[in-house]
Structure 1
Amino acid sequence: MIYFSDQELDALLLEDAPRGDLTSRTLNLTRQPARMRFSRKSPGRVAGIDVAMAMLTKLGLSPVARTGDGDDVDAMTPLIEVQGPANLLHIGWKSVQVVLEWSCGVAQYTADMVAAVQRHNPQAVVACTRKSIPGTRKLATAAVLAGGGHIHRAGLSESVLVFSNHRNLLGDDVNGMVAQLKRQAPENKIAVEADDLDDLKALLPANPDIIQLDKFSVDEVCQAQHLLRQARSTSALSVAGGINRDNVADYAKTGINLFITSAPYYAAPQDIKVIIQPN
């Protein structure tokens, strides 16, 4: 579980109902008891339950979770059920629905990618970048984890990854650069991105822990593996840039273990059916 603060939960609720629900108030639904149920319309992976439960609880309600983050469910399986005053249910309805729909979409896409790579390599890992939709990174992290994925780096403070934009400022001493990083960050793995095969050849003598192949074709990945073996390098290879649900299986066939992607963040939401009825 990833903890969401009261401030974060309030922001999710206040975005949709900064001054309550005018329609429910005008219809005098304040005191009418009702019940609300959230269900996933199609079968698949579930995410966003923990956050949704916390949002409804913030409204003074007592929701009941019928499933959990990371579960796979059948179509129309109830996810959350809650009873209370009708106006409070309406205030929570759309905000919670959107969190569930978007989170389930990200989790489903991630789960599909994980399944695709693990059919060819059971040890393979799909890891998502920090390139999430602005303002959604924490929700995205929870959804990726529910989908069976990993987080590549949640932010700049998380790990050491050298891009060509770093190297442009440092000159050509790749060996010295990697040695410095290993001295200064001994508890971190050192990853360096390669933009092409020539770049890879220049990096191999420095032997970083990970060489991230950016926008390499499947054929170029195979060539990169050959160069790695020739150099007897202990560096691991990862692939990044354009990796998505449609092509990840082709890359998995090469034997690569680590797939870096942003694609799940932009997945289509999954439909969540919400029914409010008299109690």
Structure 2
Amino acid sequence: MLYFSDYELDTFLLEDAYRGDLTTRSLGIGQHKGKMVFKRKQAGRVAGVEVAHALLTKLGLQPVIHIADGVDVDAGTVLLEVEGKAEQLHTGWKAAQVVLEWCCGVAQYTADMVAQVQLANPNGVVACTRKSIPGTRKLATAAVLAGGGHIHRAGLSETLLVFTNHRRLCQEPENWQQHVVRLRQQAPENKITVEADTLDQVAELVKAAPDIIQLDKFSVAEVLQSQQLLAKSGQQTMLSVAGGINRNNAAEYARTGVTLFITSAPYYAAPEDIKVIITPI
């Protein structure tokens, strides 16, 4: 479970209902009692239920969770239901629905990708980057976890990852060993990942022995060549692949024997359809 603050929940709600529900108010039905049910229209992975529950609870409602995040369900399964006044139900309706639809979409894509990777390589891990849509990073984290994925790095402060854009500003950009030694001194508790853009860089990087060499936009053939370079070096460095890794090609990369796959693709998955039905009680 990820904790969402009152501020974050209020932001979601106020984006849609900053001056109340004009339609409900104009119809004079605000005090009418109703029941609201959220169903996953198609079969698949569930995500966003905890956040939707928290949003509805903020409105003074007492929603009931029927399916937990991370579970696969049949089409038409009820995920969440709640009873209350129409003004409360309509205020929370779209905010909760959109959270569920977007999170289920991300979780479904992640789950599909994880399944494909692990079918080819049971030890494979799909890890998502910090390149999420602005404002959605925490929701994205919750959805990726519900999909069986991992988080590569949720922000700049979490891990050490040296890009070419870092090295260009160093006095000796190609002195890989110097970079690795400095990082081990400055951050002894953190693993060191260095990104490689070419096979020539991989050949130099293995000598510096970072914990992970991240292969950026490498073809499958180049990944196999990188593994050969690493094997010859005798180093225990791990390889990861990043850049363009998605649901369509992950299995092919997994068959190389690499076990860590870095991706942003799930964040841009199509949302899943969540059916919302409000009936009087």
Q: Please, what TM-score do these two structures have when normalized by structure 2?
A: 0.98
Q: Which residue identity is paired with 1:35? A: K
RMSD: 0.6
Provide the rounded CA distance (Å) in 2 between the counterparts of 1:6 and 1:130: 23
Equivalent residues in 2 for 1:60-99, closer than 5 Å: 60-99=60-99
Deviation per residue, 1:200-242 (Å, 9 max, x gap): 1111100000000000000110011011111112110000000
1:230 paired with 2:232, answer: yes
| Residue 8 (structure 1) aligns with | 8
Provide the rounded CA distance (Å) in 1 between the counterparts of 2:270 and 2:86: 30
SS at match of 2:266: helix
Give ranges in structure 1 of 5+ residues lacking alignment.
Answer: none
Structure 1 residue 8: Cα displacement: 0.3
Provide the rounded CA distance (Å) in 2 between the counterparts of 1:26 and 1:76: 32
Structure 1 residue 143: Cα displacement: 0.4
1:133 paired with 2:154, answer: no
1:25 paired with 2:22, answer: no
SS at match of 1:133: coil
Q: Which residue identity is paired with 1:253? A: R
| Residue 45 (structure 1) aligns with | 45
Range 126-135 or range 163-172, more displaced: 163-172
Q: Which residue identity is paired with 1:252? A: A
Provide the rounded CA distance (Å) in 1 between the counterparts of 2:119 and 2:113: 10
What is the aligned counterpart of 1:185 among 184, 187, 204? 187
What is the aligned counterpart of 1:250 among 249, 252, 255? 252
SS at match of 2:127: strand
What is the aligned counterpart of 2:206 among 204, 213, 224? 204
Q: Which residue identity is paired with 1:130? A: R
Structure 1 residue 176: Cα displacement: 1.3
Q: Which residue identity is paired with 1:51? A: V
SS at match of 1:126: strand
Range 169-178 or range 251-260, more displaced: 169-178
SS at match of 1:211: strand
Give ranges in structure 2 of 5+ residues lacking alignment.
Answer: none
Q: Which residue identity is paired with 1:37? A: V
Deviation per residue, 1:152-207 (Å, 9 max, x gap): 00000000000011111221221111011111111110000000101111111000
**Deviating 4+ runs (over 3 angstroms):** none
Provide the rounded CA distance (Å) in 2 between the counterparts of 1:124 and 1:176: 31
Q: Please, what TM-score do these two structures have when normalized by structure 1?
A: 0.99
1:145 paired with 2:145, answer: yes
Structure 1 residue 81: Cα displacement: 0.5
Provide the rounded CA distance (Å) in 2 between the counterparts of 1:137 and 1:123: 26
Structure 1 residue 122: Cα displacement: 1.2
SS at match of 1:264: helix
Provide the rounded CA distance (Å) in 2 between the counterparts of 1:128 and 1:215: 15
| Residue 260 (structure 1) aligns with | 262
SS at match of 2:17: coil
SS at match of 1:16: helix
SS at match of 2:142: helix
Provide the rounded CA distance (Å) in 2 between the counterparts of 1:198 and 1:277: 65
Structure 1 residue 80: Cα displacement: 0.3
SS at match of 2:81: strand
SS at match of 1:12: helix
| Residue 216 (structure 2) aligns with | 214
Provide the rounded CA distance (Å) in 2 between the counterparts of 1:211 and 1:124: 16
Structure 1 residue 125: Cα displacement: 0.5
1:174 paired with 2:176, answer: yes
Equivalent residues in 2 for 1:144-163, closer than 5 Å: 144-163=144-163
| Residue 58 (structure 2) aligns with | 58
